[in-house]
């Protein structure tokens, strides 16, 4: 029973950390756009070229080289959680960024920016900055 508790702890922690990180980065990319969006999404593209297990093994190898053996053995669970979280945030960030940008374009095309729903003031800054449809 102890093995299943450990697996459940690792799985829940990895999903919680990677989802939180991915959603925060995806929303910030969609909202701010520009260089921040380009930099984070290119880093995500590079990370997607490597398999997740390779990234996890790389992080484990780096921590094994950097920490003494006793400390690495004591922190093995945390290293596994951190390495798998680092490998899995990309999917959440790309999905959230795409959903935020498409819903924003839908608002602009639906008339929220053209005076039907309170004039140009009702159009959010995100809609006007990142959308291909410009609010006038």
Per-residue pLDDT at 96 = 95
Predicted pLDDT at 102: 86
pLDDT at residue 101, as a whole number? 87
E-state strands within 41-127 = none
Core vs surface per residue 56-69: b (16+ CB within 10 A) or e:
beebbeebeeeeee
Q: Which residue stretches of the chain have pLDDT < 50?
A: 115-123, 133-136
Q: Where are the domains of the chain?
A: 2-110
How high is the pLDDT of residue 72?
85
* The model's pTM: 0.76
Q: What is the per-residue pLDDT for 113?
A: 54
């Amino acid at each position: 029973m102890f093995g299943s508790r450990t697996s459940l702890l690792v799985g829940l922690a990895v999903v919680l950390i990677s989802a939180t990180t991915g959603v925060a980065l995806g929303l910030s990319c969609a909202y701010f756009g520009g260089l921040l969006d380009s930099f984070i999404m290119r880093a995500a593209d590079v990370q997607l070229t490597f398999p997740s297990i390779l990234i996890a093994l790389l992080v484990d190898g780096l921590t094994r080289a950097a920490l003494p053996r006793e400390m690495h053995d004591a922190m093995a669970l945390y290293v596994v959680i951190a390495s798998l979280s680092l490998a899995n945030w990309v999917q959440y960030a790309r999905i959230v960024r795409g959903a935020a940008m498409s819903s924003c374009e839908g608002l602009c095309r639906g008339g929220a920016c053209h005076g039907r729903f309170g004039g140009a003031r009702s159009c959010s800054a995100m809609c006007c900055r990142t959308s291909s449809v410009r609010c006038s």
